[in-house]
Amino acid sequence: MKSKIQWYLTMIIFCLIIIPACSKWDDYKKYIDEDKIYPQKPDSLKTRPGKNRIQLEWTLTDPKVTSCKILYSQEGILDSITVPVGTGQSYTNDTVRVIIDNLIESNCIFNVISYDDLGHSSLAVEAEGMVYGENYEKSLLNRTLRSKSVDNDGLHLQWYPTVDDTELGIELNYKDDSENSKTVFIADSIISNTIAGFNVNYPFTYRTKYLPTPTAIDTFYSPPNEDRITFTSELINTERPFQVTDRGWWFQGRFGDAYGWTVNAAAAQNATVDNFAQYALVLWSWTGYSPVSGITNGKIYQTLQLAAGTYSLVVTVQSTTALVNSLKQYIVANKGIVLPDVDLVETVALSWTSIGAGLADGTVVTCNFTLDEPSVISLGIVGSIVGMQELRFRKFELIKN
């Protein structure tokens, strides 16, 4: 008797669960006229966001469908467009793609209905999609530039890593050495890059590119940033005692590298300040003593940003030994961030003056030059020497006439 009661209770509970569920599953039938012909409704309806526009995409395999109507509302105003199906560019391989332009930045709901030539309509299919616009674009941030520097190889940029998964990268605009406008794209995975041939006389601009969703049809950009490589307008560390870098007196406790001066690899081999010579700036080579014997194309210089005008680079010599006639040494002024090689000085430099042999302490050598416009300019020494030769300098002074 007890088992029968349990069986009845089980059946009652089963019916209470199954009967309403079946009723709810069939509930859609009350919305359908079983005598009416329904064309295939749009299948797999998707939205792809864009800038003040959106793309809708769906599939159709019913050959009777000849058009679809898209209904949507913005700011309480109902609108619609009708799309022919089976012809034109909007229909390819059973897939319909439609772009709706001139939309307001907002989240929108779209309903799509299929029609045949007899006026029969399908059930509506609904999809939701985001329309992006000016407000979204204003909210975008530029990737942060960590550092910038320039040398013979070009403009060196260091970036902080991206923190936004929707970033695609950075678009950077600059001018090259021939003053041509150039654009490069720096992918989001890159945190350091070099721009060869960068013209330091012009700024560079950059903006960050975004794709708000993987399926978006438009890309967006942050507001652009403008930056430039800046240089001081005055020479530094210009006279005895010349200060050395943190490397100190690295050779024999006597020679070090001049602070604030750019020194190329050739000149750097033997260091550029001698504390036994009253801390003079030097280009030197002593066979059997210096790290290398002889220097070819040594350069010691500074790069400045100067206004238009006429200038004199006045260099006071401490001493120069007898120089080999076939080798050249110069005081040079040159536009840009480098000095020309020694064999090109007389043909390409903005201005130059030869350094004589056997000059006495206090001899002044002057290099005059004129700038017609604000310019980046490099000033200093270029020369080649053999073993047992030395050029020592007391002071460098830049005078605007």
First to last CA, the chain: 122
Provide the 3-class DSSP secondary structure of residue 20: helix
Same fold yes or no, 31-132 and 140-227: yes
Q: Would you state the pLDDT for residue 20?
A: 44
Domain 140-227 CATH (choose: 3.40.50.720, 3.40.50.920, 1.10.3720.10, 2.60.40.10)? 2.60.40.10
Residues 315 and 367: beta-carbon distance below 8 Å? yes
Each residue's pLDDT tens digit, 155-180: 999 999 999 999 999 999 999 989 99
pLDDT at 319 exceeding the cut of 60 = yes
- Mean pLDDT in the chain? 89
Residue 36 has a pLDDT of 66
- Asked if 143 contacts 189 with a C-beta cutoff of 8 angstroms, the reply is no
pLDDT at residue number 88: 53
Domain ranges within the chain, ordered by starting residue: 31-132, 140-227, 255-400
Cα–Cα–Cα angle for 351, 353, 355, rounded to 5 degrees: 150
255-400 CATH: 2.60.120.260
Mean pLDDT of 287-297: 94
The pLDDT tens digits for 233-254 are: 999 999 999 999 999 999 999 9
DSSP assigned state of 8: H
Band the pLDDT of 76: cuts 50, 70, 90.
confident
Phi-psi region at 146: left, alpha or beta (left = phi > 0; alpha = psi -120 to 50): alpha
31-132 folds as: Immunoglobulin-like (2.60.40)
Global confidence as pTM: 0.76
Phi, psi (5° rounding) for residue 31? -95, -5
Residue 269 structure tokens: 């081999």
Could you report the per-residue pLDDT of 325-348, keeping only the tens digit for each?
A: 678 999 999 999 999 999 999 999
Q: How confident is the model at residue 90 (pLDDT cuts 50, 70, 90)?
A: low
